[in-house]
Amino acid sequence: MATQLVYMEDFDVLTCTATVVMVGKTDDGRVDVQLDRTCFYPRGGGQDWDEGTIAKTDKTVVLTVSEVRLDEYGAVHHVGSHEVGELLVGDVTLCTVNADRRSINTRLHSAGHVIDMAIDQLGLDWVPGKGGHYPYMSFVEYATEVEPSAADDWRGKIEATANQIIRAGSSNVIRFMPIEDMHTVCRHVPDNIPKNKPARVVMYGEYFGIPCGGTHVRDVHDIGHVTVTKLKSKQGVTKVSYAVVGIN
């Protein structure tokens, strides 16, 4: 049974009510809970999972969530341990996401998209590929080759342009649409968009669409200052590594 992904419908959602539809165990003995709906983000797209708690509304049962996964059928698995009591199928619960962890992951993830916006504004036709948006490792890769002698110059230009975009701010908007229509608002539409979640575009301002199922800032100003720490090419792939001041 697919889980309704509440976090895809709202930039800021950190809590929601949900009903337990399955309680099981992982191979290593941890509790695995599935709900009819969730505000917890499962790891994917280079962004880490949320942590938090799932509790019965009367607080007689509390599950601490330490890992969240989305399976191929669209079901979200909330993995953790019971601190009080045990959840049962049919229990009505309150999901609460750790706000600090969500904010860090969202700002890092959104900063990767701003790097892409900066590259677009600089008129570069670099095709984005794999990305990672973690406190210990944040980067975006592009299908292009940059000469070593020009790498530092481009690093500086991308950093300066990204921070100009952040200072200007944006009014981001969520739009659900068929994958085949995304090219009308997106510079690049990947071939490997997951089929186990709703097809969604996040508009960073009026003209820059991003096909993405992760969490995003409502306004790029909320990201804070970005530094591009390294730009390096190898075998036709250029890796742009970055950090958000105060996080990385």
Token pair belonging to 83: 């601190």
pLDDT at 154: 97
* Average pLDDT of span 17-36: 97
pTM for the structure as a whole = 0.94
pLDDT at 1: 80
> To 5 degrees, how large is the angle CA 110–CA 114–CA 119?
150
Q: Where are the domains of the chain?
A: 4-97, 103-244
pLDDT at 246: 80
Residue pLDDT, tens place only, 28-71: 999 999 999 999 999 998 999 999 999 998 889 999 999 999 99
Residue 30 CA to chain centroid, in angstroms?
25
**Strand segments (E) across 57-199:** 62-70, 76-84, 92-97, 127-134, 137-143, 173-176
Token pair belonging to 51: 């942590």
Amino acid in position 204: Y
What value does the CA radius of gyration of the chain take, rounded to a whole number of Å? 19
> In this model, does residue 10 exceed pLDDT 70?
yes
Nearest to 70 by CA among 37, 43, 38: 43
pLDDT at 109: 97
pLDDT band at 210 (very low <50, low <70, confident <90, very high): very high
Q: How many residues does the chain have?
A: 248
Residue pLDDT, tens place only, 91-137: 999 999 999 999 999 999 999 999 999 999 999 999 999 999 999 99
pLDDT band at 248 (very low <50, low <70, confident <90, very high): low
Cβ distance 22 to 71 under 8 Å? Answer: no
pLDDT at 207: 85
Question: What is the distance between the alpha carbons of residues 116 and 82, in angstroms, rounded to a whole number?
Answer: 41
Place of tokens 């090419």: 233
Amino acid in position 35: L
pLDDT band at 25 (very low <50, low <70, confident <90, very high): very high
Q: Which residues contact 103 (CB under 8 A, 6 or more apart)?
A: none
Residue 112 CA to chain centroid, in angstroms?
10
> In this model, does residue 7 exceed pLDDT 80?
yes
Question: What is the distance between the alpha carbons of residues 15 and 112, in angstroms, rounded to a whole number?
Answer: 26
In this structure, how many other beta carbons lie within 10 angstroms of the beta carbon of residue 205? 16
Residue pLDDT, tens place only, 170-179: 999 999 999 9
Residue pLDDT, tens place only, 149-168: 999 999 999 999 999 999 99
Question: What is the distance between the alpha carbons of residues 108 and 248, in angstroms, rounded to a whole number?
Answer: 9
Token pair belonging to 167: 């200072």
> To 5 degrees, how large is the angle CA 62–CA 81–CA 47?
100
In this structure, how many other beta carbons lie within 10 angstroms of the beta carbon of residue 87? 21
Percent of the chain clearing pLDDT 70 (strictly above): 100
Nearest to 93 by CA among 52, 133, 53: 53
Residue pLDDT, tens place only, 226-237: 999 999 999 999
Class of domain 103-244: alpha beta
Nearest to 89 by CA among 61, 68, 122: 61
pLDDT at 167: 97
Let me know if domain 4-97 sits in CATH 2.40.30.130: yes
pLDDT at 194: 87
